[in-house]
Structure 1
Amino acid sequence: MDRPDVSLDRMRSFVRVAERGSLSAVASELGVGQSTITRHLRELEEAVGVPLLSRTTRRVTMTDEGSRYYADCIQILRLVEQAGDAARATRGAAAGTIRISCTAAFGVLQVSRLIFAFQDRYPDIGIDLSLTDERIDLVREGVDIALRLGPLTDSSMKLRTLGRSRRLMVASPAYLAARGRPTVPQDLTGHEGIRMTNIAGSDTLTLEGPAGERHTVPFGGRFRVDHGLAAREALAAGRGVGPAHRWLVDDLLAAGRLEAILPGYEPPPVPLSLLIVPERAGIARVRLLVDFLAERIGGIPGIETPRLERPR
């Protein structure tokens, strides 16, 4: 029987299994049966003549030969995609799918509408938007770019700093009428705080004062939550006071359902960054979306973009 050929489909299956460590996860991602992925891997190993993956009951890992072959496959698949971009550019059409990961509440309330506008401009580009507050492995999950609020530690990604997200202290009129209005940070000690469980140190609150001084006060409360949209609902329902990104509550402030409190005292702003998987940075449609988001992000309430940095 003739040895199978090395095909792009087999190569793509191998790359994703190597990254995810699971045949079933890749089968689900690619919309095929697990038997198809198994066949792709078997045929690819037969074609190259060496074992590329080591399989256990819990995980699939690369052999030494597989690691070297994986690096070459990444380069080959990137060149194939870039060649397709160049061909499509001759008729002025960007096409394909971009996979984005974004902080959940930010994605629902703000980023989704930017994506709609992007797709109106580029109708042949598909978007897969994944909303999560977890810091996922972008390569492992097959993501091209990620919008992240807060400090970053993943130095293997290309980084584009988009700006800072301003925050303020808010409460509902009903809550303030029942519990009184705090006028200085120390007044928060006797109030119900709406706290985020996925933020370290949420039992204390740091506010910057009018002269740049910092005030750190205890911040307690009976309601804690791990999602920004639930915190927004709790604040609007009068369950307590809390810090909130301006983009999270701007419409509620305009409608009078929330009020800003402690004028002159604000929580420190939070960095907003765009992470780009290095192997995807050269893809035309990815570059288009990165530039589009950088251009439009400053129109979101509370996002300050004093000076933008290029990817490094």
Structure 2
Amino acid sequence: MDKSEITLERMRSFVRVAERGNFSAVARELGIGQSSVTRHLSELEDALGVALLSRTTRRVSLTEEGSRYYANAVQILRLVELAGDEARQAHGDYAGTVRLSCTAALGIRHIARLLFAFQDRYPDIKVEFSLTDERIDLVREGVDIALRLGPLDDSSMKRRSLGVSRRILVASTDYLARYGRPKAPEDLARLEGIRMSNIAGSETLILEGPGGDRHAVPFGGHLLINHGLVAREAFAAGRGFGPAHVWLVDDLLAQGRLEAILPDYVPLPTPLNMLIVPERAGIARVRLLIEYLADGIARLPGIDARQA
């Protein structure tokens, strides 16, 4: 095969297989058959005259030549995309796909509506929106932007701090009418807690008092959950009390279905960050969504621009 057969399509298939390590996953992502992905890789290797991938029954890995070619291919594909962006922008056009990942509760309660408005403004931009509370590998999963609550590990991703998400203690009005409103942190021990199982150390509430002093309060109950939206339902149903992000329960508070308890003693706020794949940060449609989300998130209930 002549070297002119090194097409962008084959290069793109190779890059995604190198990142995902799975032919069938890449086929699903690209909307083609697995046999087509396999053929793309075989034809690319034939054109180059070297093996790019080492294949076994269990895994796919890059050869030494494949690693070097991958680094260059990523840059080539990025330049091609940027060139197309510049051509379209000359006519004021924005098109293509942006892939966004977000923690589920925040995504459902608020980010979805921001995306609807974004697409109304830019109807030719396709958004692939995935909800997960797991810390996914953005490059491996083909995600451009991720919104994450909580501390971040060291990362090669570009990070943009969106501030912190304030939390408060809440319970339903009915629950407090039955069991009484606590007057001090130690009163919380007699109430039923709604605890998150996927948060380390959730068996203890760390509350910051009026003078900045911190109080450690044992926190337990008969309902252990792993999703913020279930906690929201449990609070509203009068199953107990617990910490909640303001954006998670702002409507229930406004309706009088929930109350903030011990407002002078608050759980520590949670960092909110945007992670961006560096190679994708310069693409126009990705930049548009980054700025649109940053502006919209700053206006959400309980989001404080100060650094954690």
The TM tier, using the shorter chain, reads over 0.9
- CA distance in 2 between partners of 1:142 and 1:154 (Å): 19
- CA distance in 2 between partners of 1:270 and 1:12 (Å): 38
Question: How big is each residue's C-alpha offset from its partner over 1:219-276, in whole Å with a ceiling of 9 and x where there is no partner?
Answer: 0011111111011101111111000000000000111111110120110111111100
Structure 2: runs of 5+ lacking an equivalent: none
Residue type at the aligned position of 1:82: L
* Aligned equivalent of 1:32: 32
| Alignment: residue pair count | 308
TM superposition score normalised by structure 1: 0.96
Question: How big is each residue's C-alpha offset from its partner over 1:146-188, in whole Å with a ceiling of 9 and x where there is no partner?
Answer: 0111111142010111111100000011211222211211111
* Aligned equivalent of 1:219: 219
- CA distance in 1 between partners of 2:278 and 2:205 (Å): 36
* Aligned equivalent of 1:285: 285
- CA distance in 2 between partners of 1:94 and 1:263 (Å): 46
* Aligned equivalent of 1:305: 305
SS in 2 for 1:47: helix
Question: How big is each residue's C-alpha offset from its partner over 1:74-109, in whole Å with a ceiling of 9 and x where there is no partner?
Answer: 000000000000000110011111000101000000
Shift of 1:291: 1.1
Shift of 1:3: 6.7
Q: Residue 3 of structure 2 contacts residue 48 of structure 2 at CA under 8 Å; is this kept in 1?
A: no
Residue type at the aligned position of 2:248: L
* Aligned equivalent of 1:180: 180
- CA distance in 1 between partners of 2:137 and 2:263 (Å): 39
- CA distance in 2 between partners of 1:74 and 1:49 (Å): 20
Shift of 1:25: 0.7
TM superposition score normalised by structure 2: 0.97
- CA distance in 2 between partners of 1:155 and 1:37 (Å): 30
SS in 2 for 1:299: coil
SS in 1 for 2:138: coil
- CA distance in 1 between partners of 2:76 and 2:214 (Å): 52
Q: Residue 109 of structure 2 contacts residue 248 of structure 2 at CA under 8 Å; is this kept in 1?
A: yes
* Aligned equivalent of 2:79: 79
SS in 2 for 1:109: helix
* Aligned equivalent of 1:155: 155
* Aligned equivalent of 1:126: 126
Q: Residue 196 of structure 1 contacts residue 227 of structure 1 at CA under 8 Å; is this kept in 2?
A: yes
- CA distance in 2 between partners of 1:195 and 1:31 (Å): 41
Q: In the superposition, relative to structure 1, how do residues 166 and 281 fare at CA in structure 2: closer, same or farther (>3 Å)? A: same
- CA distance in 2 between partners of 1:149 and 1:21 (Å): 28
- CA distance in 2 between partners of 1:191 and 1:58 (Å): 51
Moved more, 121-130 or 75-84: 121-130
Shift of 1:16: 0.5
* Aligned equivalent of 1:12: 12
Write the mapping of 1:196-207 to structure 2, written as runs, cut at 5 A: 196-207=196-207
- CA distance in 1 between partners of 2:177 and 2:260 (Å): 14
Residue type at the aligned position of 2:25: A
Question: How big is each residue's C-alpha offset from its partner over 1:129-156, in whole Å with a ceiling of 9 and x where there is no partner?
Answer: 1100000000000000101111111420
Q: Residue 4 of structure 1 contacts residue 44 of structure 1 at CA under 8 Å; is this kept in 2?
A: no
- CA distance in 2 between partners of 1:184 and 1:23 (Å): 58
- CA distance in 2 between partners of 1:190 and 1:234 (Å): 18
* Aligned equivalent of 1:273: 273
Q: Which runs of 4+ in 1 moved over 6 A?
A: none
| 1:48 equivalenced with 2:74 (yes/no) | no
- CA distance in 2 between partners of 1:108 and 1:140 (Å): 24
Residue type at the aligned position of 1:297: I
- CA distance in 2 between partners of 1:266 and 1:250 (Å): 16
Residue type at the aligned position of 2:261: I
SS in 1 for 2:238: coil
Residue type at the aligned position of 1:174: D
- CA distance in 1 between partners of 2:25 and 2:122 (Å): 30
SS in 2 for 1:195: strand
- CA distance in 2 between partners of 1:190 and 1:62 (Å): 58
Structure 1: runs of 5+ lacking an equivalent: 308-312
Q: In the superposition, relative to structure 1, how do residues 82 and 2 fare at CA in structure 2: closer, same or farther (>3 Å)? A: closer
Q: Sequence identity, in percent?
A: 70
Residue type at the aligned position of 2:220: G
